[in-house]
Amino acid sequence: MSNTSSHLSKWSVSSRIFHWISAVLLLVTWVMIFLYDNLDSNLYIGLHKSFGISLLFWMIARVINRAVTKAPPPISMPKWQLLLSQLSHFGLYALLIAMPMAGLLMSVYGGRPVDIFGLFQISVFVTPDRDLARFYNDLHTDIIWPTIIAFTLIHIAAALYHQFVKKDNLMARMK
């Protein structure tokens, strides 16, 4: 067991902050659409869009942070596991960027500007098109969302596997 706490190589502080705030923003964005689905109040769809766009900006900043900071060297594991983890992390980045983009495109192709917390508005920057609005709606709700759920569940299961089965202290790298 080489990763004892004394010489544990952690993710940079900025990477850790980006990771956990992304997770919280994803959760809050989902809670808002859940409240909207159940209470049918326009307040919650507005908050859903505002938090979703916040996550988009956050993810763009996160990608830049990822490019300019050094990732810790991977812990030792079979090559196929390392490859899968890298693919799934790349997938999560792509999904968390594609999801709010699809939401934004669904809205503007539907002819609706997007208000962000009453602070500013993203205007309708395309020619509204019902078919495209429907396409991005389907992409948002039927394709990307189930994929995010699957990737996130696998991601958390992998973290728990490292924590409780392999006991290799992987989780501490992101804490």
* Interface with ligand HEM (CB under 6 A): 15, 19, 22-23, 26, 29-30, 33, 37, 45, 48-49, 52-53, 55, 66, 71, 85, 89, 92-93, 96, 99-100, 103-104, 106-107, 114, 137, 140-141, 145, 152, 155-156, 159, 170-171, 173-174
Q: Give 125-132's long-range contacts (Cβ < 8 A, gap of 24+).
A: 132/105
> Quick check: 51 and 115 in contact, CB under 8 A?
no
Closest to ligand HEM by CB, 55 vs 109, is 55
State the nearest-atom distance from the C-beta of 164 to ligand HEM, in Å: 12
Give me the least distance between CB of 127 and ligand HEM, in Å please.
18
> Hey, what are 55's tokens?
């996550």
Smallest gap from Cβ 143 to ligand HEM, in A, equals 11
106 or 109: whose CB is closer to ligand HEM?
106
The alpha-carbon radius of gyration of the chain (Å, integer) is: 19
Identity (one letter) of the amino acid at 106?
M
Please, which residue, 49 or 109, has the CB nearer to ligand HEM?
Answer: 49
Q: Are 74 and 89 in contact (CB under 8 A)?
A: no
Indicate the Cα dihedral angle 157, 163, 168, 170, nearest 10°.
70
- Rounded least distance, CB 85 to ligand HEM, Å: 6
**Nearer CB in complex with ligand HEM: 60/174:** 174
Contact partners, residue 171, CB within 8 Å, separation at least 6: 159, 162, 163
